[in-house]
Structure 1
Amino acid sequence: MQKIETQYGRARRVWVMDRGIPTEEVLEEMRQAGGPPVQYLVGTPKGRLGKLEAELLKQPWQQAREGVRVKLLPQDGELYVCVESQARIGKERSMRRRRLRRLIGGLKELQEQRLGYESLLLKLGAAKKAAGRDWALIDITLPQRPAKKAALRERCDFSFQLRRDKLRIARRREGRYLLRSNLTGTDPGKLWTMYLQLTQVEQAFKDLKGDLR
């Protein structure tokens, strides 16, 4: 923030940042900054959505624009905006379906291979890394580690199942975003539009990188 202000001067600007970018210390610095007010709009990790879920359940949905509704939760001088986008629900659900299909297909292939215990662990580790958060939707059952070293090379069978309870929770959060801002008097539909500019900038960078190849 200081670098940008040194280069471009202090101005009444709104900092729009994706989740995970600003720390609590940076946000506190913004709130305490003197001169023109430093205003911000940031996405928050979905884990925070879970923490505030009980409070948000008490709030009514408001229609922000067609296909987008919001819940507002003022807290400690900030405004949390829970946004539900029908377009994003469809997109995220489709993406998750493809990822799960790929993950389950890969696990079935591993079941058909004659892998030893240690080789199987390595393959499962690679599958876990590739699956990311979706790995938490699968329960893996492995046999006890063989006591004898020679037995580690013998075929090891495992089973898995989809955690439908966790999948229901994940589906409930699809297309929902939790925004956090000190623009407490701004129309929530406008806040959502501002936040979407991040995806437009990201796509512009991707297009630019593609043109440079």
Structure 2
Amino acid sequence: MGAAKQAAGRAAGLITVTVPNADETVSRDTFHFALDREKLRAVRRREGRYLLRTNMNGYDPAALWTFYVQLTEVEQAFKELKNDLAIRPVYHQLEHRIEAHIFVAFLSYCLQVTLKHQLKQRAPGLTPRAAIETFKTIQMVDVHIPTTDGRSLLLSRYTQPEPEHRLLLDALRLRLPAQPPPKITASRVSPVVAVAAM
């Protein structure tokens, strides 16, 4: 019964259970349960209501609700900065480095909000974290191939997207860029030192 009550959560309070005494046998007369209809009615009357209490007198209730929604959005932004974007801990000691760290975190938050907006429109139900986890498996690799004349051929390539990547890319109307062209690095030639004759 304890496990059932824990699994039911608050709904367990709506059920009245009669349990047999230690010396009684378990039967329909000694063990039964029933729905407490009065409690259920009270819960349903309160369902869907939200009470907002404030000390800001003289404001329109609609404006107060807007302030509250903005407050929850700001709290959610800080939560995402701390958890999803890992702004903390900050290991820097110099002020300009701390500011740079926070600036980069803010830029990543802006990108996350943009991604959230895109997902809300085109892939509802998908969170930015889930989208990033999906795209995380696409990797960029640099392949270095030495040539016979001492130079090196560099091929930068990303791995081909899997079907779940393609599905998400299509939903977001995104296209991966073309694979970058190969680059050839110049051979390392020792510098010539000119000696002036005297």
TM-score, scaled relative to structure 2: 0.34
Which has the bigger relative contact order, CA under 8 A and spacing at least 6? 1
Larger helix proportion of the pair? 1
